[in-house]
Structure formats: C-alpha cells, structure tokens
Amino acid sequence: MKMNGQEAAWWLSCVPGLGAVRLRQLSELLGRPERIWDLVESEGNKNGWEEESVKQTALYELLQEKTRAWQEHSGERCVLSGQNLRQLLLHRKEAEKSVREYHRWTEQGIKFITVWDNEYPGRLSALYDRPYALYLRGVLPEAKRPAAAIIGARACSLYGSSQARRMGRELAKAGVQIISGLAYGIDSAGHKGALESGMNAATFAVLGCGPDQCYPREHTWLAERILENGGGILSEFAPGAKALAGHFPMRNRIISGLSDCILVMEARERSGSLITVDQALEQGKEVFALPGRVDDPLSAGCHRLLQNGAALLSGSTPVLDFLLPNRKIEGHGNINSEDFGKNALAPEKNMVYSCLDYQGKTIEEIIALTGLPLAVVRTRLLELLMAGRITETAKGCYARLSRSKE
C-alpha cells in the first residue's frame, strides 16, 4: 500500500522499541518516513523473509552500510539493532490500522507535527533525544516569544503555590509564554497565574499521556481554559496512551526544551523536578530557584540548586532581565515587578474574591494566594464589603456570603 509522509510518520512513530533517539537516527540514515515505509514494504513483500533471518535482508545490509558512513561522519554511536529492524518489519502488518488511526484522530482535531514539518518547534530540534513527533490540541508556543517553565512539587505549600501563580501572572503579562505540565501543585498554579494575566496564548501544557486525555482528570477544566485562551496541550505520546510513570521524565525534557529558562518554585531534596533541572542544564538553559525557609523540606531542593549556582528567584524582575533585557512599555521605559500590579488586566477585585471561600480567610492568607500588596488587598476587601459580596466573620477574617444571601 502507498502512504503519504504524514501517514508513514504516524505508522513509524508507533513502532514498538523505537524511541526518540532511534527514530532520529533511523531518519538520518534512511531519510523521510515515506521512504522508510517503501523500503520496509518492499522487504516485507519478498518471498522467503522470516523473522529469524532479519540480518540476511537487503534492508539490514543497507542499514549497516549507511551506519558505517554516518558514524564516521557524525562521531555518534548508532543504537539501532537487528531487533529494532525486526520490529520495524513486523509492524508492517499494522499499516492499514495505523492509517485509519491517523485519519480518525486528525479529523477529531488532533494535530500531528513531525520533525519534517515547518511547524516543529525550533527549540526542540537540536535535542539529542528530540521527540520524533508531537500530538497537539490548540497551538504550539511561538518561536519569537520568550518562554519560561514553572515547575515544582505537586504537594506544595501555600507559599510555593502563591509564588508560582504570581510568577505565571507577571511573566505572562510581560509577554512571556508559560510552560508546565498540568500537574497538581506548582504546575497548575503557574498555568492559572498565566491565565489571570489577561494575555492571549499565555500558557502551554505538556502531558505524560495522549493529548486526548487529561492527567490528572480533575484538571480537565484547566486544560480547556488553556485552549480557550489560545494556548496548547501537547504530548509526544499518541492519542490513547495512558499516563505511565516512565512517561513523565520523558515529558519533562520537552517542558525544559520548549523553555528559555526554568523556574523551580519548590522541590524536595530528591524531587522529580530536579530531573527536569538536569535536563535543562544539559540543554544549556538558565535555572532560577525560589528560596524558602531553611527548615522546610519543600525548599531543600531549591536551596541545593542555589548553592550549586542557580539564579536567585527574588521576583519576576530577574527573569525578565534575563529574557527581555531591553523590555519597555510605552511611556514607562523599563518595567519592574511593581509595574505589573498597576497594569495587570485581571481585575484585582476578582482575584481577591476568587480566593475566598465560605469559611473565611485572613488577610495574610489572601495576600499569599493572590500575590497582591497589603494596601491593594485591604482596598479590594473594602470594596467587596460595601458591594455586599463578602462578610467579615471575625477581626481581619473574610468570607464569601452564603449562596442563599448572594
């Protein structure tokens, strides 16, 4: 059967045992996916081919010949094996099913972007283990806009969550794209802050499962908000793929790869976030770490990063100085973190109201959740009190009115 380039790439991306590095090397040796399919189909149609005799095939000989010249030129060891070629030839039987799957998912709005496409992110192209293909809902981050990853503990503190939300909001307001993984804790706080900025296409989520799913399921609403905002949900795992433990370190290299710098908000001494940091450092990315209390286990990983030379995350200004050293707002010259509070599009009153519940929160808790200054919080609370939207349950403690009274 004949396949076009996209159909052949979808088929190739699903071959068992062919990960990102092997797919990259196979492409560098044999060329575009449709050519690889033609070679596989031609070999598979020959009489006498058996699974056990893969090393006697013309395709194996061609691969060996190409490998010798490629290794000498690139200086890189080829990791492709006879077993990989066997899987490639056996996967030929799945071709018709694969083509049906490709058309079914693309008709449902899943975009399929391979390394051969112009839309493939340039930030990922140079990676040794770049994803062979990306499955996408929405859009990809813009190449010409700066991007920052916000990562950290799932079981984070109120301090870590509020700071991640603040960073997402302030950086997005300055035009920085926020990249994270849609997980509980720091990830979701960074996404939420970016959405609060009022900027279009403010944030993008990289998943450890297929793009047709959401992990955790409770964040389906957040994924939809990201798409409504003009952002994107992407994965290197095909639709239908479950969220497996081994997928998340793979996902993390894409988060760091799509970003110009990494912001670590909270991390334990042995944290999965530090795997992302290691990948970011290998990719040559700048790392910022948020300091915390010296006796807080959630800050131990950040403190170790700071000891080892990470940049101090004292607010959004150091990040903006790194990403946008010549940034200006018309009429204001260079901007700093104080300017964001004055110019933010998200109404401060709504930010204060949205963090309240029916039990009551202190002013200190409201400041931690919103990242707003004390004077601003007090003013907005007074406005909400006068509007009859909230009540003061005790001295300095505020709550929403019960639903029956609103």
DSSP line for 286-352:
EEEE----TT-GGGHHHHHHHHTTPEE-SSHHHHHHHH-TT--BTTTBS--HHHHHHH-SS-HHHHH
pLDDT tens for each residue of 115-126: 999 999 999 988
43 sits in which H/E element: helix 33-44
> What one-letter code names the amino acid at 53?
S
Residue 155 token pair: 């079981």
Query: Strands of 232-235's sheet, edge to edge?
Result: 111-114, 133-138, 232-235, 203-206, 177-180, 147-151, 261-264, 286-289, 311-312
Angle at 205 between CA 33 and CA 229, to 5 degrees: 110
Output phi, psi for 164, to 5 deg: -65, -40
Three-class SS of residue 270?
Answer: coil
Residue 327 to residues 149, 150, 319: CA-CA distances in angstroms? 20, 21, 12
Q: At what angle do helices 272-282 and 300-307 cross, to 10 degrees?
A: 20
**DSSP state, 402?**
P
Of the chain, the percentage scoring pLDDT greater than 90 comes to 55
Query: At residue 345, does pLDDT exceed 60?
Result: no
For the segment 363-376, the average pLDDT, to the nearest whole number, is 80
C-alpha 308/C-alpha 264 separation (Å) is 14
Give the alpha-carbon dihedral of 272, 273, 276, 280, to 10 degrees. Answer: -150
For the chain, count helices (H), then strands (E): 18, 12
pLDDT of residue 348: 65
Give pTM, 2 decimals: 0.77
Q: Could you tell me which residue, 129 or 328, shows the higher pLDDT?
A: 129
pLDDT of residue 340: 32
Residues 6+ apart with CB under 8 A from 168: 150, 178, 189, 190, 191, 192, 193, 194, 195, 196, 197, 203
Q: Could you tell me which residue, 208 or 331, shows the higher pLDDT?
A: 208
What residues are paired with 180 via a beta bridge?
205
Q: How confident is the model at residue 300 (pLDDT cuts 50, 70, 90)?
A: very high
pLDDT tens for each residue of 242-292: 999 889 989 999 999 999 999 999 988 877 788 888 888 888 888 999 999
pLDDT of residue 116: 93
Question: What sign results for the dihedral spanned by CA atoms 135, 136, 141, 142?
Answer: positive
Q: Are 92 and 21 in contact (CB under 8 A)?
A: no
Q: Are 96 and 1 in contact (CB under 8 A)?
A: yes
Query: At residue 49, does pLDDT exceed 80?
Result: no
Q: Are 343 and 174 in contact (CB under 8 A)?
A: no
173 sits in which H/E element: helix 158-173
